[in-house]
Amino acid sequence: MPQSVRPEQVIKALEKDGFSFIKQRGSHKKFKKDNTTVIVPKHYELATGTLKSILEQSGLTMDKIIGK
């Protein structure tokens, strides 16, 4: 995994994959596609464990997030 991934990169990949923004509570944004819900914290960069969890929940790959 790359050293740092920005939440904006993840959000862009989620929206490109068909996820829709639902709501925001504080610094956490909620996205939904079919029956899948993913919450992305809007911090400076995502922790490795948080990123892994988002990838598992959404079905995305790192290649889609970093744009390869």
- Residue 62 within any structural domain of the chain: yes
Domains contained in the chain, number: 1
Residue 55 is part of which domain span?
7-66
Averaged confidence pLDDT in the chain: 89
Whether 23 has a pLDDT exceeding 90, the answer reads: yes
Query: What's CA 24's distance to the chain center, in Å?
Result: 14
- Residue 18 within any structural domain of the chain: yes
pTM of the model as a whole: 0.86
Q: Are 20 and 29 a contacting pair, CB within 8 Å?
A: no
- List, as one string, the DSSP characters of the chain: --S---HHHHHHHHHHTT-EEEEEETTEEEEEETTEEEEEE-SSS--HHHHHHHHHHH---HHHHHT-
Share of the chain above pLDDT 70, in %: 94
- CATH, residue 23: 3.30.920.30
- pLDDT, residue 45, reads 87
> Residue 43 phi/psi, 5° resolution?
-100, 180
- Residue 31 within any structural domain of the chain: yes
- Residue 2 within any structural domain of the chain: no
- Residue 33 within any structural domain of the chain: yes
Residue 2: band (very low, low, confident or very high) from pLDDT cuts 50, 70, 90 = low
